[in-house]
Chains A and B, each alone.
With several copies, the nearest count.
Chain A
């Protein structure tokens, strides 16, 4: 309850935006467009949920965009028709992401190098790996079973939307109800105190970076399925969008405060802005100005709501 109320301003900002949009463009509030909108945020949403864990521990992960490319390529290599069952590319993508995440986590915990630097290095290196693995060209000719993960529907709901919902729900449970969730908040809130409370801080960090990598892998799989190709140059800048969604949603960059609920709201807000500006046909250059202003404005509103 308090958590939802904490994000009250954001909900209002979102509501105002939606009301304004549907007044200006009746097509905004159609079921078709709303499903469309949620499908559009699914990739960013999955990434944002993953990086929420990392930000909660006070870390950061800049490698997400590159990981999306690398894992999309990895998945695509196993997704040619008639070669492997459809689970193979999914496992390949998620495992590749988890592995990279774990590698970052290991350097961060063992080497005590700042997460910013480690994941920046991973961002560069994973992009190179994606290019090497794909020979620099898109990996295409993917099986229809695989591409259904991006373009298909189950009971009328697009698969990416289902994936996002499942991921967000699971993440919420872990953060709110599991010991690991408590420990994530503890490490971010006060690392020394967490250590003094007997929490194995290294393990918690390994967990969050590995999880974040794995979810980036999942996002990479969904993206590859959606665009029906493993694209080594995909995902540039996705990390900033994901982190933005998390921070808009009220998770502090210094760790310890926030949660997945806010993150989903944040991703939604960004999706509505993008979708709305396109619907309103705002010229591209002005879109960017308006987008920047709305994001800051919404968060400002949210923060002032907080104080009262």
Chain B
């Protein structure tokens, strides 16, 4: 179906892909695996014809190729239906016109296939990242392509929605559509992939049938060494309360020093909304106390002053400043610490940036590389580094490992643990059940903006969590 031969591509002289060849057959799900920055997205964009290779050929035999982008590309001020049908609008009665009714119907049908009930007439702006990802998937399906490239389609989705996507993928496979799939969620690969190709540093390392692999071997191929994936050490929670929250339409909880509280819920459960309100980024009525003292927070600047830092979920929208360097992005929330009066101290700043880059193993050509040209996972690490440099006592992490590779994910989990051991209070929102179970000391389940249950990760089961997260029947 798709023949890619000897694809090479470099950015500003630095190779991102070096002679990658790949054959994708009709009716197979081909997983493309690799660490952050291995070249997966670059490869997919070249196959989709959205990026020109330096050398090499792509032959898709005249078939149509659609792509789900890792970085969401919504038209924020258009409706969901308009987004889904953009570029292939159903023709209306007169030449050149569009049939808006058909557009809406088609959007609703595509979303229904994914089990989503998003209103096709809603504006994209204001949808959660997860909802936008759903729209993006629906849009790619709408092309009825012969091959679909899916670049981390589930990075913002919770297990339940991912399951529905897998149903759709299996259906596509039955119809002979070729699917190329990337994800950093290992379990997904073994559930859905027929074959797996591993990229490492822009080279193709191996292609195997998925059945020949297990998680440990796959990780070893990706990372180039065996990874000792043990469960992180146990909690270090102390007794002093660092953060306590009351109000915000039905939330009341505390996070103690050294404690990691995981917050889980279905897509759109309101976790982001709640966290943003605490951080002063979104409107909300409630009381926040840090170390027992009431913190009046009207803006993130206030929050940071009170020792709260947050890594936001929407990396592109409210995370990176794309045209700034890695250094400038890292120190953005802590310029005061590297300044004398109004002057930014170049030396202090560079040192702080270098510290985070090595501490988080950020893969970049150097601190001066423009952050927009980093791979998604590495951008995410920069966001973490920015929050850490603000030296917070309370750290709110909204989907902190979204798009981060297995190796790095373990590192980030270990890092979160370490921060907890240093006494920081951590509120971690995640849609990945295994992550919540592995990292948290305590789990809060959120539904419709309210905390509906508090569970112990050592005893809680996935079914139990789901039961609290699902809306009550009737």
Contacts and interface: CB of A to CB of B under 8 A. Distances in A.
Interface of A: 2, 177-180, 182-183, 185-186, 189-190, 192-200, 252, 256-257
B344 A195 contact: no
A180 B73 contact: no
Contacts of B323: 185, 189, 256-257
Given A178-B97, A182-B335, A200 B299 contact: yes
A189 B343 CA distance: 21
A196 B73 contact: yes
Contacts of B76: 189-190, 256
Interface residues of B, number: 51
Nearest to B64: A198
Interface of B: 50, 67, 69, 73-78, 82, 86-89, 91-92, 96-98, 100, 139, 279, 281, 299-301, 303-305, 310, 312, 317-324, 328, 332-333, 335-336, 339, 342-344, 368, 386, 390
Listed residue (B322, B332, B333, B344) with the most chain A CB atoms within 10 angstroms of its CB? B332
A180 B100 CA distance: 14
26 contacts: A177-B100, A178-B98, A179-B336, A179-B344, A182-B86, A185-B75, A186-B78, A189-B78, A189-B323, A190-B321, A190-B322, A192-B318, A193-B317, A193-B318, A195-B299, A195-B300, A196-B279, A196-B310, A196-B318, A197-B139, A197-B300, A199-B86, A199-B87, A256-B321, A256-B324, A257-B77
A203 to B, nearest CB: 9
Contact of A192 (B77, B98, B317): B317
A264 to B, nearest CB: 20
Given A190-B74, A256-B75, A256-B321, A195 B86 contact: no
B395 to A, nearest CB: 14
A197 B299 contact: no
B321 A179 contact: no
Contacts, number: 137
B321 A186 contact: yes
Contact of A194 (B310, B317, B321): B321
Given A179-B342, A199-B332, A257-B77, A189 B324 contact: yes
B457 to A, nearest CB: 29
Contacts of B390: 198
Contacts of A198: 87-88, 299-301, 303-305, 333, 390
Given A196-B67, A197-B332, A256-B76, 12 more contacts: A177-B343, A178-B96, A179-B97, A179-B344, A183-B335, A186-B87, A190-B320, A196-B310, A198-B300, A198-B304, A256-B321, A256-B322
A200 B336 CA distance: 13
A97 to B, nearest CB: 22
Contacts of B328: 182, 185-186
A190 B301 contact: no
Contacts of B139: 197
A146 B50 CA distance: 51
A2 B77 CA distance: 13
